[in-house]
Amino acid sequence: MTTHAVQFLRPAPIPAKSPLWSVAEVEALFRLPFADLLYRAQQVHRQHFDANAIQLSTLLSIKTGGCSEDCGYCPQAARYDTGVENQALLELDEVLEAARAAKAAGASRFCMGAAWRGPKQRDLEPVLDMVRAVKALGLEACATLGMLKEGQAEQLKEAGLDYYNHNLDTAPEFYGDIITTRAYQDRLDTLDRVRSADLHVCSGGIVGMGESLTQRAGLITQLANLDPYPESVPINLLVQVEGTPLANTEALDPLDFVRTIAVARITMPQARVRLSAGRQQMSDAVQALCFLAGANSLFYGEQLLTTGNPEVERDRALLDKLGMYPLA
Ligand code: SAM
Ligand code: DTB
Ligand code: SF4
């Protein structure tokens, strides 16, 4: 797999005020004939990006399981019996070892995830050391720690964090069916804090949770109307985990997943749209369609947080087959 240093590593500043999207407009995009939708997405994609370059992020769960929240998709919620073993916050050297391995395998960004409702101050301090250490390796650093309180985003920024991931997860109208322990507005407030601290925003959602097409459009509308929209937009396909309330949800048609990527690309032209969770069972052909639809980022490495992801060799072979190369 060849690595090319290309000019798109840093996100271009996103225009502060872009026109708002209505749910009806976004839904109309979802309903376009498939070929027309992909053609529009390709046009937008090629205006802003090298269409053959892909950004690779590697995830590490730095604190696993035992979470107080009730997110219906999540294997780490204490209240569901999913077989996930709880693991206290990792030591700095364990995180560094994983980050070094991620860099050696070709990732450009290292994302640390914690199963917290949000970090307490005593939790945040060791994470700040992790951020400093990851940055010292020359990697971009991302963290996803839950809701942030006043001042915490600034501390992360000060430590050198590049991105904070906090997903809206779904449309406001469907949200209450999935999570009751925190409100949609709490999520928006955390994203405001991240933005105000001058961190790059990584925010996306999950599809395949039984939402309607209008609700899928509602999620993308919310993300696209953030002002400015996120620099990084992970689109996750629900990983169904036995023991969670969403296990056994009717599977989403893969082409509807591809449509979601295309609509994210059209409505957020300069964002890195990440083909995120749910790739393990996805064929190469569906993933190739996602790239055609404008996905230009992947979670890379054999593990997401607690569930599997394609083997590194499979991903390298796929990218090679498609003539795609990772950002340095
Ligand atoms: N606890 C923090 C929080 O909820 O913000 C950070 C970690 S949490 C696991 C990060 C994101 O992972 C969630 O917002 C959700 O979008 C995604 N996620 C969790 N479980 C998933 C699953 N089974 N399938 C797809 N995405 C999932
Ligand atoms: C995101 O949008 N997806 C990632 C990351 N951000 C933190 C997490 C996916 C988790 C999938 C289930 C698991 O492995 O536990
Ligand atoms: Fe906890 Fe995050 Fe999982 Fe929700 S998604 S249960 S907050 S770890």
pLDDT for position 328: 79
- Cα angle for residues 306, 99, 326 (degrees, 5° grid): 90
The b/e string for 21-49 (b: 16+ C-beta within 10 A; e otherwise) is bebeebbebbebeeeebbebbbebbeeeb
Best of 57, 59, 223, 281 for a ligand 2 pocket test (most atoms within 8 Å of beta carbon): 59
Best of 71, 116, 190, 206 for a ligand 3 pocket test (most atoms within 8 Å of beta carbon): 71
Closest CA to 328 of 18, 3, 2: 3
Ligand 3 atom, smallest distance to 115 CA? 8
pTM equals: 0.95
- Closest residue by Cα to atom 25, ligand 1, is 238
Alpha carbon of 169 to ligand 2 centroid (Å): 11
State if residue 239 touches ligand 1 by the CB under 6 angstroms criterion. yes
3-state per-residue secondary structure call for 292-317 = HCCCCEEECCCECCCCECCCHHHHHH
Which amino acid does the sequence have at 304? Answer: L
- Closest residue by Cα to atom 1, ligand 2, is 234
- Closest residue by Cα to atom 9, ligand 1, is 115
Question: What is the rounded CA–CA span in Å between residue 283 and residue 31?
Answer: 24
Q: Are 75 and 243 in contact (CB under 8 A)?
A: yes
Identify the residue whose tokens are 């593990």: 303
CA atoms within 13 A on the CB side of 178: 25
Integer CA distances (angstroms), 169 to 13, 42, 93, 166, in order: 24, 25, 32, 9
- Closest residue by Cα to atom 4, ligand 3, is 71
Q: Which residues line ligand 2 (CB under 6 A)?
A: 59, 75, 113, 144, 165, 167, 204, 234, 236, 239, 276-277, 304-307
| Catalytically annotated residue among 265, 274, 279, 290 | 274
Q: Are 258 and 293 in contact (CB under 8 A)?
A: yes
Question: Which one of the ligands is nearest to 111 CA?
Answer: 2
Question: What is the rounded CA–CA span in Å between residue 311 and residue 309?
Answer: 6
Question: What is the rounded CA–CA span in Å between residue 60 and residue 58?
Answer: 7
User: Could you please report the per-residue DSSP string of 216-228?
Assistant: HHHHHHHHHTSSS
Question: What is the rounded CA–CA span in Å between residue 297 and residue 275?
Answer: 6
Known catalytic membership, residue 290: no
Q: Is the dihedral of CA 115, 121, 127, 131 positive or negative?
A: positive
Closest CA to 265 of 44, 56, 8: 44
Alpha carbon of 76 to ligand 3 centroid (Å): 6
Q: Residue 223 burial (CB < 10 Å; 0-12/13-18/19+)?
A: buried
Q: In sequence order, what E strands does 159-262 have?
A: 163-165, 200-202, 205-207, 232-237
| Tens-binned pLDDT, residue by residue, of the chain (328 aa) | 544 444 444 555 665 556 799 999 999 999 999 999 999 999 999 999 999 999 999 999 999 999 999 999 999 999 999 999 999 999 999 999 999 999 999 999 999 999 999 999 999 999 999 999 999 999 999 999 999 999 999 999 999 999 999 999 999 999 999 999 999 999 999 999 999 999 999 999 999 999 999 999 999 999 999 999 999 999 999 999 999 999 999 999 999 999 999 999 999 999 999 999 999 999 999 999 999 999 999 999 999 999 999 999 999 999 999 999 999 7
Q: How far is residue 106 CA from its own chain's centroid?
A: 18
